[in-house]
């Protein structure tokens, strides 16, 4: 919040001011109660001290009013904390639809970032001001945590899964990026910066340097090279299910149950395909764990997402039902 208070990092995202207000509220409640309790403690110790050897205080038989007061006030305060923090939590968890996506891979001891245009960065992230940026994080080894104090944003990068968060930067400038999860010897050096640029400047940055290979293009290449295409060629008689239109859909699984084909599901199905086999197929796909890096997996997912839905998809599925009967 206020940049005039030196204890606060700069305030450079749309969420920062909300987080600060909540933080100040929590701080004020804690402060008022701590001071109140400390003062009461000293006052009571002095006012009700034993004045002579055989002094006996009168018995206390309880007070309904007092019980109500010290139950209802904390209840109200905690309800406010709960509702307020839940609102903040959901605001930070819900990624705006128009956000630009950046894949983040934590690795001892660096941050590898890739834009959907294909631009790669290490320990640096360039983003345009005023545009929501959607971060999808994972790790190649241990847990790291992507922390940008100026955005009041922190999200763990956990091996084996994707975590998501977002921010909209409000002020052009350069901001600290830290790893906020102890990850080994050089944890303290796993730092970098986020460069927030005016839109035109950002476009210029994108245009500079050699033309990068987009994740979709890399994914398309891997899809052929790694022989994915031999089974997933989109015909209903193929050994693997068609991938067109798969992302985001609900998939029936072999042996009952279902799964939503989100990024985490796609990743698992590439690396350890036997974990969730699609109903109607055999668990014949080889495992790619240890053969594909996180960036390759992200590229394959980007490629799968870029596939257009098959025309007459429902019809071809029906045909395959007939064939298997
Ligand atoms: Cu990565 Cu600490």
Residue 296 maps to which CATH number? 1.10.760.10
Q: Indicate whether residue 148 lines ligand 1 (CB < 6 A).
A: no
Alpha-carbon 28 to chain mean position: 29
Residue 56 lies in a domain: no
Residues 173 and 130 both lie in one domain: yes
Domain region containing 172:
100-207
pTM of the model: 0.73
Q: Could you tell me if 260 and 225 lie in one domain? A: yes
Residue 22 lies in a domain: no
CATH of the domain at 141: 2.60.40.420
Atom of ligand 1 nearest to the CA of 187: 2
The per-residue pLDDT for range 5-23, each reduced to its tens digit, is: 667 788 899 999 999 999 9
Residues 6+ apart with CB under 8 A from 70: none
Judge whether 18 lies within some domain.
no
Query: 3-state DSSP call for residue 207?
Result: helix
**Do 299 and 232 fall within a single domain?**
yes
- Residue 18 Cβ inside 6 Å of ligand 1? The answer reads no
Determine if ligand 1 sits within 6 Å of the CB of residue 107. Answer: no
Q: Is 191 exposed, middle or buried (0-12, 13-18, 19+ CB in 10 A)?
A: middle
Residue 94 within a domain: no
Asked if residue 269 and residue 243 are part of one domain, the reply reads: yes
Domain stops at, among 174, 207, 240: 207
DSSP assignment letter at 149: G
Ligand 1 centre and the CA of 65: distance in Å? 52
Question: Across the strands, what pairs with 74?
Answer: none
pLDDT of residue 5: 61
CA distance 221 to 197: 32
Residue 1 lies in a domain: no
CB of 173 within 8 A of CB of 196?
Answer: yes
| 285 and 233 share one domain | yes
Write down the residue that tokens 């309880």 correspond to: 62
Residues 233 and 176 in one domain: no
CA nearest ligand 1 atom 1, residue: 144
Answer whether residue 45 shows pLDDT above 90.
yes
Are 177 and 270 in a shared domain? no
DSSP classification of residue 169 = B
Same domain, residue pair 296 and 312: yes
Atom of ligand 1 nearest to the CA of 142: 1
- Long-range (24+ apart) CB contacts under 8 A made by 72-78 are 77/29
pLDDT at 54: 86
Domain termination residue (choose one: 164, 189, 207): 207
Any idea which of 78-82, 305-309, 313-317 has the lowest mean pLDDT? 313-317
d(CA 151, CA 123): 17
In a domain, 23, yes or no: no
Atom of ligand 1 nearest to the CA of 143: 1
Structural domain includes residue 171? yes
Considering the domain architecture, whether residues 124 and 187 belong to the same structural domain is answered as yes
Backbone angles phi, psi at 248, to 5 degrees: 85, -10
Q: Is 106 in the pocket of ligand 1 (CB under 6 A)?
A: yes
From residue 247, alpha-carbon distances to 94, 135, 229 in Å are 18, 18, 17
Cβ atoms of 268 and 214 closer than 8 Å: no
Ligand 1 contacts CB of residue 156 (under 6 A): no
- Asked if 110 and 146 touch (Cβ cutoff 8 Å), the reply is no
User: Which pair of structure tokens corresponds to residue 271?
Assistant: 């690396």
Are 180 and 106 within one domain? yes
DSSP 49: -
CB 100 within 8 A of CB 129: no
Tens of pLDDT, residues 118-147: 888 999 999 999 999 999 999 999 999 999
Same domain, 268 and 199: no
In the chain, how many domains are there? Answer: 2
Does the residue 159 lie in any domain?
yes
Question: Is 157 close to ligand 1, i.e. is its CB under 6 Å away?
Answer: no
Does residue 177 have its Cβ closer than 6 Å to ligand 1?
Answer: no
- Domain boundary among the residues 207, 237, 270 is at 207
Q: Tell me what pLDDT residue 323 has.
A: 39
Give yes or no for residue 189 CB within 6 A of ligand 1.
no
């Amino acid at each position: 919040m206020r940049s005039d208070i030196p204890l606060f990092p700069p305030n450079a995202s749309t969420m920062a001011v909300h987080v600060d207000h909540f933080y100040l509220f929590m701080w004020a409640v804690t402060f008022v109660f701590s001071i109140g309790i400390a003062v009461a403690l000293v006052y009571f110790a002095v006012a009700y001290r034993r004045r002579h050897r055989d002094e006996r205080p009168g018995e206390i038989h309880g007070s309904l009013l007092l019980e109500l007061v010290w139950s209802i006030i904390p209840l109200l305060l905690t309800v406010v904390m709960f509702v307020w923090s839940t609102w903040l939590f959901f605001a930070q968890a819900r990624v705006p639809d128009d956000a630009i996506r950046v894949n983040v891979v934590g690795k001892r001891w660096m941050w590898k970032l890739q834009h959907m245009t294909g631009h790669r960065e290490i320990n640096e992230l360039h983003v345009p001001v005023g545009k929501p940026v959607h971060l999808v994080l994972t790790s190649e080894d241990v847990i790291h945590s992507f922390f940008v104090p100026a955005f009041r944003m922190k999200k763990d990068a956990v091996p084996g899964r994707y975590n998501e968060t977002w921010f909209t930067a409000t002020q052009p400038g350069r901001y600290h990026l830290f790893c906020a999860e102890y990850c080994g010897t050089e944890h303290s050096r796993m730092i970098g910066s986020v460069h927030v640029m005016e839109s035109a400047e950002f476009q210029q940055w994108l245009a500079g340097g050699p033309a990068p290979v987009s994740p979709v293009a890399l994914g398309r290449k891997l899809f052929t090279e790694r022989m994915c295409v031999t089974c997933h060629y989109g015909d209903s008689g193929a050994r693997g299910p068609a991938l067109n239109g798969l992302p985001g859909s609900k998939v029936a699984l072999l042996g009952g149950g279902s799964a939503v084909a989100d990024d985490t599901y796609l990743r698992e199905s590439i690396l350890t395909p036997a974990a969730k086999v699609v109903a109607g197929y055999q668990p014949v796909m080889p495992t790619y764990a240890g053969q594909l890096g996180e960036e390759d997996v992200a590229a394959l997912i980007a490629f799968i997402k870029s596939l257009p839905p098959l025309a007459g998809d429902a019809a071809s599925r029906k045909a395959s039902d007939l064939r298997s009967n």
